[in-house]
Amino acid sequence: MSQSFAASEQAALTQKRFLYQVYAWMGAAILLTAFAAFFTAQSPVLLQLIFGNGRGFPVGMIVLIVAEFGLVWYLSSRVFDLKFETGLALFAIYSVLNGVTLSVIFLIYTASSIASTFFVCSAMFFGMSLYGWSTKADLSKWGNILFMALIGIIIAGLVNFFLRSDILGYVISFVGVVVFTGLTAYDTWKLKQAQEELSGNEAAIRKLGLLGALTLYLDFVNLFLMLLRLFGGRRD
């Protein structure tokens, strides 16, 4: 009985260490993104290079977005085949590129609203993530529903790119908050299940942690952007 209890305690401790590691990598990526965004927003040269002068086609922005999608796809699909250090480097590069892209928020929203939205987002994110990690409920049914809702948001966003409807934009953002809040809990729950399945394979678990950090990073950033669109104070 005591051996069984000790094994259970050890497994719980291993899971906690794994979760802390995931949060550490994710937090470092968010810091890189924030620094890159702030630095870019302070540089007229970089802003001109990325966003152009507002008259022509923003080639720099398109290149950045394509590069980001390519990095996310490659890292997500090949993370277990790559060396851990290579995967970590790609994650860092993606975080910086994403920060450069997101620098535009400093031109649209006030610094105070960005900061307040960030703290609200952090509270929501970690609350739902801890729920996903600690719950005994089976969240597997959430996966398909949230994925379909995510596809719907992407399609609606593409349509609104041409319609330029403020009302549709607010609806998309509201639904997006719900979806990414749910995805935070689901992805954390799924991460826990995967960690249990790989128990004993330290190399694979380490790479899983990196993939988990990327997934939760994407949930956090998208949740933050949706909240900012709803509640962010715009510059005059």
CA distance linking residue 212 with residue 224, whole number of Å: 18
Residue-level pLDDT at 13: 80
Per the CB < 8 A criterion, the answer to whether 51 and 60 are in contact is yes
Rounded to an integer, the average pLDDT of 124-138 is 93
Residue-level pLDDT at 48: 86
For the cut 60, the answer to whether the pLDDT of residue 2 exceeds it is no
pLDDT in tens, 17-41: 899 999 999 999 999 999 999 999 9
For the cut 60, the answer to whether the pLDDT of residue 159 exceeds it is yes
pLDDT in tens, 177-221: 999 999 999 999 999 999 988 877 888 999 999 999 999 999 999
Higher pLDDT, 236 or 86: 86
For the cut 90, the answer to whether the pLDDT of residue 223 exceeds it is yes
Residue-level pLDDT at 1: 47
For the cut 80, the answer to whether the pLDDT of residue 3 exceeds it is no
Per the CB < 8 A criterion, the answer to whether 133 and 192 are in contact is yes
Residue-level pLDDT at 54: 60
Rounded to an integer, the average pLDDT of 117-123 is 96
When pLDDT is cut at 50, 70 and 90, the band that residue 222 belongs to is very high
CA distance linking residue 223 with residue 210, whole number of Å: 20
Q: Which residue has the tokens 């709803």?
A: 230
Per the CB < 8 A criterion, the answer to whether 98 and 221 are in contact is yes
Cβ neighbors of 235 (< 8 A, separation 6 or more) are 107, 108, 109, 110
A 10 A CB-CB count for 36 gives 20
Structure tokens at 50: 């990325």
Instruction: Identify the three-state secondary structure at position 83.
Output: coil
Crossing angle of helices 2-41/202-231, nearest 10°?
Answer: 50
CA distance linking residue 105 with residue 113, whole number of Å: 10
Give backbone dihedrals phi and psi of 29, rounded to 5 degrees, phi first: -65, -40
Q: Which residue has the tokens 């008259």?
A: 55
Per the CB < 8 A criterion, the answer to whether 234 and 109 are in contact is yes
Cβ neighbors of 30 (< 8 A, separation 6 or more) are 95, 217, 220, 221
Per the CB < 8 A criterion, the answer to whether 123 and 184 are in contact is no
Give backbone dihedrals phi and psi of 43, rounded to 5 degrees, phi first: -115, 105
Structure tokens at 123: 């509270």
Residue-level pLDDT at 81: 94
